[in-house]
Amino acid sequence: MAVIDNNQLFSAVYLRELQAAQQDLERLAGARSTIREWRDEFPDLQQPGTRLDFVRQTISALGVCYGIQEQQDCLTLYSDPSRQAATGLCLVLEEADLGKPCKGSHPQARMIQTLRKASLRWGVITNGRRWRLCFAEAPAPYEVFLQADLDALIGEKALADFLVFYRFFGGEAFGMADGALGLDRFCSESAKRTDAIERHLKSQVEPILQKLCLGFVEDEATEEYSPETLQTVYQNAIYLLYRILFLFYAEARGLLPVDRAEYRAVSLASLVDAASQRERDGASDADEHSLWRRLTRLFVVVDDGDSALGVSAYNGGLFSDMEKPYLKRHSIRDDYLSAALFALGFEATKTGYARIDYRDLSERHLGTLYEGMLEYRLNRVEREPVVVRDSGDRRMFVSLSHAGAVKKGEVILEVGQVYFADDKGERKASGSYYTPEDVVQYIVSNTVTPKLLERRKPFDAILEDAERERAIAPTPEQRNQLEHYADVEALKAVEQGILTRGVFFECVRAGVPFSLAGSIRDDGPLPDTQMDLIKAQDDYTRLVRGADMILMLGSMLHSIGVGNMTPSGVRLACIDINPAVVTKLADRGSLESVGVVTDVGLFLSLLSQRLGL
């Protein structure tokens, strides 16, 4: 485990800048020394009383005021010694590894639920050795956190990592300044840094697309370029750029094995390094398409998988040559591709260039970038140079012979170069409007949540009395109902302790009937999948009968299929990252449908938060 594990709670760039800034080293060293002395005083943290005593002493050394609740393992954190305003909670737990919850116990879920009941946002869970900071209002509150290995921190000579622990778990974090909680202020500062990265990438989208489009245009090598040809070039350049952005994101988040030397040799990061050497140092290769060959080879690795490199096949279609044969037939020279990769990988700073950390970007940022790409129409300068001229909020492209005097700052495009004119109609035609996060929250709060809360009311008393963590086996009546819709593999897996969490675990435990339907092109791979589609349709018919609201989450074929078999009057909420799915459902004539273009995980997290789960 890393000494500091920032799992998307704060911007990685923000943390690096914090560590590089000037600090009061004497105060930091003093706090670390005090905690080290208390750790020596309590060498065995397996004893509950000893663990709690050490945690209390550590919190005091960090400058945080606290009070003990009736639950001995929970401390209330306060903004000042008066203990009038609670600003957080600290749960002291026995789990040896906070990241691997045991059966029936999920420390972070317990913390988030406890915070919500107390109307607080920030909390710490710790076993004394490891400390985890949680945020109840994060888009994915059960998944994001900042964790520190305290034993490792107090043994280090350098103070840079201990600074992060002191800053985010200390008195400044849980104290108030100018009416704002320290952690809220840190969160806002971190978000600004992430937004700055997004603004930088937005500013680079047009010049990057110009490079990619010009590379394809030159590869076309035709005398005339029809509007249809230019549109094909542009659409494939967008697709190529989104593939590259996906790889940046996947490597930064550890979704691809960047820690393996075999993969690193073919990774996008290695390509960006080569592009950097070319752009900054003038390095070149005798093969003018070397970068393109390496990039397309990486596409094949991701699409097909490669066990020698530790890469599993990605079957989403994004990297398939069958989906985009144009990218297999054509190529881009290194001088164009290198410039594009360098602009995507680095941003200019006062001291040179800094690598962009894509860990800080979410699906929302990538969706916004994609939406912006659709606002252009590709053109090529054909007969004479063109002057790029700003006219208020519009940009005009005037032939040189009609432009008159060229003003300072105006750009002249030579014959053969490409440029973009606004084409906002493309987004309207394709329905590609990425729903902003605040709009998603509004829709969840005002349409989906009230209906679900209304349906939940009859069960509230039952839920309060039931010990859900221990009620694993369904009743005989529930078992019969489940077996009516599916085989018993899921039931056996839950009862035998093989399946201990997740959607199907919860369905079995609560006796909620479900149906797993395959498709002509996809046979699973989960057990209980019904491949007889006529039987699957019958199961769907039974399941939706009597429903007055249906949530459709991230499955295009099944969402549209259920929509087609649903009578009028049933409210439909379709949530999908792909804009086409939402528009297809609306196009079928479902007047009661609500479409939200966003990540399903983000939506479910917001929904559970609003429902108080």
- Partnered with residue 152 across adjacent β-strands are none
* Percent of the chain with pLDDT strictly greater than 70: 80
pLDDT at residue 520 greater than cutoff 60: no
At 265, list the tokens.
Answer: 């040799």
User: Could you report the per-residue pLDDT of 327-358, keeping only the tens digit for each?
Assistant: 999 999 999 999 999 999 998 877 788 888 88
User: Could you report the per-residue pLDDT of 26-56, keeping only the tens digit for each?
Assistant: 889 999 999 999 999 998 888 767 888 999 9
C-alpha distances in angstroms, 203 versus 197, 198, 245? 10, 9, 15
Tell me if the pTM is above 0.85.
no
User: Could you report the per-residue pLDDT of 421-463, keeping only the tens digit for each?
Assistant: 765 544 444 444 445 555 556 666 666 777 777 776 776 666 5
Distance CA 560, CA 318 (A): 21
Q: How many CB atoms lie within 10 A of CB 128?
A: 22
What is the reported pLDDT for 103? 46
**DSSP state letter for 189:** H
Task: Give me the mean pLDDT over the 550-571 stretch.
Answer: 79
Those residues whose C-beta lies under 8 Å from the C-beta of residue 400, and which sit 6 or more positions away, are: 384, 385, 386, 387, 406, 412
Distance CA 291, CA 211 (A): 14
Contact 375, 398 (CB under 8 A): no
> What is the Cα 448 distance to its own chain's centre?
22
User: Could you report the per-residue pLDDT of 361-400, keeping only the tens digit for each?
Assistant: 766 666 666 666 666 778 888 888 888 887 766 777 788 8
Distance CA 601, CA 334 (A): 38
pLDDT at residue 524 greater than cutoff 80: no
Burial code of 386-400, b = ≥16 C-beta within 10 A, e = fewer? Answer: bbebeeeeeeeeeee
Contact 177, 185 (CB under 8 A): yes
pLDDT at residue 507 greater than cutoff 90: no
pLDDT-derived band at 189, boundaries 50, 70, 90: very high
What is the reported pLDDT for 318? 82
Distance CA 475, CA 512 (A): 11
Distance CA 435, CA 364 (A): 8
pLDDT-derived band at 529, boundaries 50, 70, 90: confident
What is the reported pLDDT for 433? 45
User: Could you report the per-residue pLDDT of 297-329, keeping only the tens digit for each?
Assistant: 999 999 999 999 999 888 667 888 887 889 999
Sketch out the chain's domains with CATH numbers. Answer: 4-177 (no CATH), 194-381+416-430 (no CATH), 437-611 (3.40.50.10690)
The most confident of the ranges 171-185, 228-242, 391-405 is 171-185
Q: Is the dihedral of CA 92, 95, 100, 106 positive or negative?
A: negative
pLDDT at residue 175 greater than cutoff 70: yes
Mean pLDDT in the chain?
80
Contact 64, 171 (CB under 8 A): yes
What is the reported pLDDT for 487? 46
Contact 167, 19 (CB under 8 A): no
Task: Give me the mean pLDDT over the 212-217 stretch.
Answer: 91
pLDDT at residue 530 greater than cutoff 80: no
Distance CA 337, CA 136 (A): 42
